[in-house]
Amino acid sequence: MALGLLWLGLVLLGVLQTQALDSTPNLIPAPPLRRVPLQPDFQNFQGKWYVLGLAGNEFNKEKHRQFKIYATTYELNDDNSYNVTSTLAWNQTCDHWLRIFIPTSRRGQYTLGNIERYTGIQRYVLRVAATDYTQFAMLFFKKIYRNQEYFKITLYGRTKELTPKLKENFISFAKSLGLTDHHIIFPIHQCMDK
């Protein structure tokens, strides 16, 4: 379990264990940003999202089968940056993980604040690919970590319910970026869910 939390923390940070890197030497190349959709006229969503789907060139469906649904909250600052807090249930308590997303000149596209604190991360960009604000959002993340390029996408839901349509759209999105079923995971509910 301790390793599970470590892994999750690293994924949230966008950093992987060296061990995992060694076992995935042939990464699917990250798509250029121009090939990734951007939500037109993004209107700064806020509040809590549940992470219902994850996919990326560092994900492995078999290895990450036990991955649990967790929540991520977006709080808008006055300068249009976001405080993004992920909450993970862990050992009967909740752990919080905060990072800051800084807006870029493209609406809906952000970089990671305080990037110098994250050892090994040379570049980090994310964009809101699509959202309807009230039910779902799909985000794209790309980073360069120790000269390797990683990318991932996340499916957010306002509730913990993963509808077949959301699931299907997310799978299509993942595949449009060159990923396969093998790279897509749908986190499971936790036994302690209320």
Ligand X SMILES: *[C@@H]1O[C@H](CO)[C@@H](O)[C@H](O)[C@H]1NC(C)=O
Q: Smallest Cα–Cα separation from 39: which of 135, 112, 106?
A: 106
- In the complex, least distance from residue 78 CB atom to ligand X, rounded to whole angstroms: 8
> Which residue, 82 or 151, has its beta carbon nearer to ligand X?
82
3-state secondary structure the chain: CHHHHHHHHHHHHCCCCHHHHHHCCCCCCCCCHHHCCCCCCCCCCCEEEEEEEEEECCCCCCCCCCCECEEEEEEECCCCCEEEEEEEEECCEEEEEEEEEEECCCCCEEEECCHHHCCCEEEEEEEEEEECCCCEEEEEEEEEECCEEEEEEEEEECCCCCCHHHHHHHHHHHHHCCCCHHHEECCECCCCCC
Min dist. Cβ of residue 170 to ligand X (A): 29
CB of 92 to ligand X, least distance (A): 6
Does residue 168 interact with ligand X by CB under 6 A?
Answer: no
Provide the minimum distance between the beta carbon of 99 and ligand X in the complex, in angstroms, as a whole number. 10
**Rounded CA separation 155/172 (Å):** 12
| Beta carbon of residue 91, minimum distance to ligand X (angstroms, whole number) | 4
Give the nearer residue to ligand X in terms of CB position, either 57 or 72. 72
Q: How far is the CB of 45 from ligand X (least distance, A)?
A: 14
Binding pattern to ligand X, positions 61-100, x when CB under 6 A? Answer: --------------x-x-----x-------x---------
The amino acid present at 61, given as its one-letter code, is: K
Here's the x/- map for ligand X, 3-42, by CB under 6 A: it reads as ----------------------------------------
State which residue, 37 or 113, has the beta carbon closest to ligand X.
113
What is the binding site for ligand X (CB under 6 A)?
75, 77, 83, 91
